[in-house]
Amino acid sequence: GINAEYMGQLRIMLCKRISQSYIKLVLGRSITFTTSTTLTDSSLNNEQIEAFKGFPWFTPALLKDYTKNDSLVSKLTSYERRFIKNRECLDDFHVLYRELHQWCANCDFRGLTFLCESKLATHLAQKIRQIHLKGLELEMANLTAIQPMMEPLEVEIFKNLHIDRSQNGNESDYTIHKDRVFGFGPKCTVYRPKKQNFGDWLNIIESNYKPYLLRVKVLIGGPMKFDLRFKSEKAWNGQNKEPDAKPSCNLIQFEINLKGNEFFRVGPTKMKSPLLRDWRITDINNCLLYTSPSPRDLSTSRMPSSA
């Protein structure tokens, strides 16, 4: 029989080939980035169109910093690639991405608060409510557990920042400089508070002290997507047809708080602490604009027309 290791290698090889074909579709703009027919559909009124445009759809302009000569360029270092692979981060991202579609389609706003950073969860809930108020429904089409394309594009590490933006100060509250984890590990950006109280020093001795914020931006593509429909008719233009299987894409930002020693556990071993439920989705297609990683510097939401 075929052993499990061989099957695992075969699965990785097939996923890489499928992923490359999806990248060509993205760069060639052959992917259905939005339900463009909605914007020209005569049956939609202006309020419905505005509600549709308010949701964070993908647009190729989001990849301008990750393309060169019509090719997708990842900014990951060899260490970052090894960390993501050996810590099995992509497996976690597949689960979270599927849950994102399920919670949004089911209007499970409580589920979004566990899956997303609080400001993003609030933003998504607001946009979904606006869609429903205008007689439309956001549904999930083509449910798939594993997405054919899962391409990490950029990794950043920050110190003294928390996933929950409300727990951080403004950028002006910090002295910012470049450093390395423990002085010799991967590069990171340190946000050192200008004013520290005694409680900040006590946090260091806590067993659950996780001062590092890891951010991973991932381009995800596959047949699973959001399908916008009329609430009354359950289908576009009253036509009872199944959603098409054209692929769609999303640029998703995942973040997690970690201890410093976690960045050195990159060997190919199965004895690792599980990270799945510590990850949070903090941005979707740049729908939230932060002037810096410090969370209170939140500007207005990005509108699709400005992408």
* DSSP run (H or E) holding 187: strand 187-193
Q: How far apart are CA 76 and CA 216, in angstroms?
A: 10
Strand, helix or coil for residue 268: coil
**pLDDT at residue 233, as a whole number:** 57
Q: Is the pLDDT of residue 282 over 50?
A: yes
Q: Is the pLDDT of residue 296 over 60?
A: no
Tokens of 108: 């499970």
Query: How do beta strands 212-222 and 225-230 pair?
Result: unpaired
Q: Is the pLDDT of residue 299 over 50?
A: no
Percent of the chain with pLDDT over 70: 68
Q: At residue 137, what are phi and psi to the nearest 5 degrees?
A: -130, 140
**pLDDT at residue 204, as a whole number:** 54
| Cβ-contact 117, 281 below 8 angstroms | yes
Average pLDDT in the 23-35 region? Answer: 46
More confident residue, 48 or 294: 48
More confident residue, 8 or 80: 80
Q: pLDDT band for position 79 (50/70/90)?
A: very high
